[in-house]
């Protein structure tokens, strides 16, 4: 059974600092690793999808890496802004698109 | 391009009642998945439908059921509601084939059982 862990559970940084969010998973036989952002009371916004054959994906200030052998993914957010404050979730995709989520990292970026 | 639409956004129901939630996926997407989100348990997978067939099911009691229509719209039903069913219910749509299974979520339905 796939288990996904996110560390740290919460993070507070001053504006401009780079963010590093960690995600680990137990089953290396995942298809994809997807990162999401969730604002309070809202749905999930897809940030990046890393397919199993890829090692990283980039979008603007975001970069995510995937190391299946070690069971880890890392999301980097460069030059953080107050608008980056949210909960960030990673999810591994297994059979038939079922996503197994971590508990999330709550990020606060202070001006 | 329209996103995933969930209706209604908010619901208040009484214990013992039943409820139906609706999800319209992104046009062209044939897979719809449902998730329950609570502060204590986080995001938990309920079930996934692809081309009107349930392909995968999570560990929830039989009171939770769903279906998918020929236009890929999906409904989720919860019967005999319990207080613990209060949660944010999220649906996700994807193409559902192979590795290109990026999931896109709706805004959710907030269900409160009183």
Quick one: average pLDDT of B78-104? 89
Residues from chain B contacting residue A43 (CB–CB below 8 Å):
4, 6, 90, 105-108
**How high is the pLDDT of residue B98?**
62
**How high is the pLDDT of residue B100?**
62
Q: Please tell me what DSSP assigns to residue A26.
A: S
Residues from chain B contacting residue A46 (CB–CB below 8 Å):
102-105
Q: How does strand A19-25 pair with strand A62-67?
A: unpaired
The phi, psi pair for B74, rounded to 5°, reads -130, 150
Nearest to B42 among A45, A93, A101 (CB): A101
| Cβ-proximal residues to A60 (8 Å cutoff; 6+ apart), any chain | none
pLDDT tens figures, B23-67: 999 999 999 999 999 998 999 999 999 999 998 899 999 999 999
Residue pLDDT tens, chain A, 111 long: 778 999 999 999 999 999 999 999 988 777 889 999 999 989 999 999 998 888 999 999 999 999 988 999 999 999 999 999 999 999 998 766 689 999 999 999 999
* CB-based contact B102 A96, cutoff 8 Å: no
* CB-based contact A31 B35, cutoff 8 Å: no
């Amino acid at each position: 059974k796939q288990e996904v862990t996110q560390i740290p559970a919460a993070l507070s940084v001053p504006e401009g600092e780079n963010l590093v969010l960690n995600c680990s998973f137990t089953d290396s036989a995942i298809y994809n690793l997807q990162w999401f952002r969730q604002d309070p009371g809202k749905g999930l916004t897809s940030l990046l999808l890393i397919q199993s054959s890829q090692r990283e994906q980039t979008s603007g200030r975001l970069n995510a890496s995937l190391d299946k052998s070690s069971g880890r993914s890392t999301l980097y957010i460069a030059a953080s802004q107050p608008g980056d404050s949210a909960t960030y979730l990673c999810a591994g995709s297994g059979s038939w698109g079922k996503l197994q989520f971590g508990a999330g990292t709550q990020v606060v970026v202070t001006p | 391009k329209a996103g995933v639409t969930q209706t209604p956004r908010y619901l208040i129901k009484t214990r013992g009642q039943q409820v139906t939630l609706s999800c319209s996926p992104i046009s062209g997407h044939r897979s719809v998945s449902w998730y329950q989100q609570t502060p204590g348990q986080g995001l938990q997978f309920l079930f996934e439908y692809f081309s009107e067939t349930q392909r995968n099911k999570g560990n929830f009691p039989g009171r939770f059921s769903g279906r998918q229509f020929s236009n890929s719209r999906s409904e989720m039903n919860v019967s005999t509601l319990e207080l613990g069913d209060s949660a944010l219910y999220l649906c996700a749509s994807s193409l559902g084939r192979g590795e290109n299974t990026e999931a896109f979520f709706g805004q959710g339905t907030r269900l409160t059982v009183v």
